[in-house]
Amino acid sequence: MPESPPTDPFVELTMMLATSAMQQLGKLVNPMTGKAEVNLAAAQVTIDMLEALKVRTKGNLDRNEERLLADTLAMLQMNYVETAAASPSSASNAAATQTEDKASEAVGDAPRPEDPPREKKFHKTYG
pLDDT digits (tens, 9 = 90+) for 16-68: 999 999 999 999 998 888 999 999 999 999 999 999 999 999 999 999 999 99
pLDDT in tens, 76-94: 999 999 999 988 665 455 5
Question: Alpha-carbon distance 35 to 13, whole Å?
Answer: 24
pTM to 2 decimals? 0.65
Please report whether residue 3 resides in a domain: no
Assigned domain for 90 exists: no
Flag the least confident range among 13-17, 78-82, 103-107, 110-114.
103-107
Residue 9 has pLDDT above 60, yes or no: yes
Instruction: Count the domains in the chain.
Output: 1
Residue 123 within any structural domain of the chain: no
Q: How confident is the model at residue 113 (pLDDT cuts 50, 70, 90)?
A: low
46 contacts: CB under 8 Å, gap ≥ 6 = 17, 20, 21, 24, 76
Q: Can you give the residue range of the structural domain that contains 44?
A: 9-82
31 occurs within a structural domain: yes
Distance CA 93, CA 12 (A): 32
26: in domain: yes
- pLDDT above 80: residue 116: no
The answer to whether residue 21 sits within a structural domain is yes
In a domain, 1, yes or no: no
58 in any annotated domain? yes
The residue-averaged pLDDT of 93-119 equals: 52
Cβ atoms within 10 Å, residue 58: 10
